[in-house]
Amino acid sequence: MIHGREGEAHEVMLEIERRVTADGRVKLPPVESRLSLGDPHRLTMGSVARTLLKHYPGRTTLGVVLMASQAFIYNAIFFTYALVLTKFYGVAADRVGLYILPFALGNFLGPLLLGPLFDTLGRKAMIAGTYALAGILLAVTGQLFEWGWLTATTQTVLWTVVFFFASAAASAAYLTVGECFPLEIRALTIALFYAFGTLLGGVGGPWLFGILIEGGGRTDIVYGYFLGAALMIVAALVELRLGVRAECKSLEDVAPPLSSA
């Protein structure tokens, strides 16, 4: 409809309703909400900038913080993963990949198992909680690593736990920027925030860790872990302050379309 194709939109909705009610067990409630649309919005970079910076500055700040912090923490681990295993734990280079398997499993299970809670417990509680837990656990893991209390196995286990929560947190960053802005610019905002977050966290992170690794000691690397942990905790606080309670709401209620009258 926002592209002026009302007839096709109507047919799409009728098909969805037919599928939902096909077995006769589901009866759809009557439609009560209404939304008036004007002429289709002509999208320009200027209108996108006005929308992000003038109409939704808080959500824009939130999106940047969430995307950048999760990009940084991912690079903080991945950039040093092989180095820590080979240099400090004596793992052969050709066996480093085996330690990635549980790490990948934690990344998969986090969003899978925690995802439904973002709709039941709510966005703010879950996003703030997963970001804060990931940050705290990373700080604890970094400190144990610096003290030399870990082995290659326990280090991997702790990283897996960290990213069980961090992967759900990262997914929530995409969720936030995908649902908190008007329909006409949802896809574009995801691309913009991803690019900007990667610039800050994905480029800045490896650059910083490259400098820290040159020091060669555990303490140098841990400084980077602590910074990543701090960024995640700050992101959790920003979510508590600026987060949007979008659970179980239609996208039009969360952010009216730019073409709405």
Domains along the chain with CATH numbers:
6-40 (no CATH), 45-251 (1.20.1250.20)
The radius of gyration of the chain's CA atoms, rounded to the nearest angstrom, is 22
Question: Which class for 76: exposed (0-12), middle (13-18), buried (19 or more C-beta within 10 A)?
Answer: buried
- pLDDT score for 117: 96
- pLDDT score for 13: 92
Q: What is the rounded average pLDDT of the residues 246-255?
A: 92
CA distances from 64 to 28, 56, 176, 193, 198 (A): 38, 12, 10, 6, 10
Structure tokens at 185: 């610019």
- pLDDT score for 103: 85
- pLDDT score for 51: 94
When the pLDDT of each residue in the chain is averaged and rounded to a whole number, the result is 91
- pLDDT score for 31: 85
At 23-55, the pLDDT tens digits run 888 889 888 888 888 888 888 889 999 999 999
- pLDDT score for 245: 94
At 229-247, the pLDDT tens digits run 999 999 999 999 999 999 9
- pLDDT score for 198: 82
- pLDDT score for 150: 93
Question: Which class for 106: exposed (0-12), middle (13-18), buried (19 or more C-beta within 10 A)?
Answer: buried
Q: What is the rounded average pLDDT of the residues 244-257?
A: 92
**Span of 107-116, 148-157, 197-206 with lowest mean pLDDT:** 197-206
CA distances from 227 to 13, 208, 255 (A): 48, 10, 33
Residues of the chain with pLDDT > 90, as a percent, come to 62
Over 80: is that where the pLDDT of 134 sits?
yes
CA 249 – CA 261 distance, rounded (Å): 20
Over 90: is that where the pLDDT of 136 sits?
yes
- Helices (DSSP H) in the chain: which residue ranges? 6-20, 45-50, 57-83, 89, 96-114, 117-120, 123-147, 152-179, 186-197, 204-215, 218-242, 251-254
Q: What is the rounded average pLDDT of the residues 1-11?
A: 89
Categorize the per-residue pLDDT at 7 as very low, low, confident or very high, splitting at 50, 70 and 90. very high
- pLDDT score for 145: 93
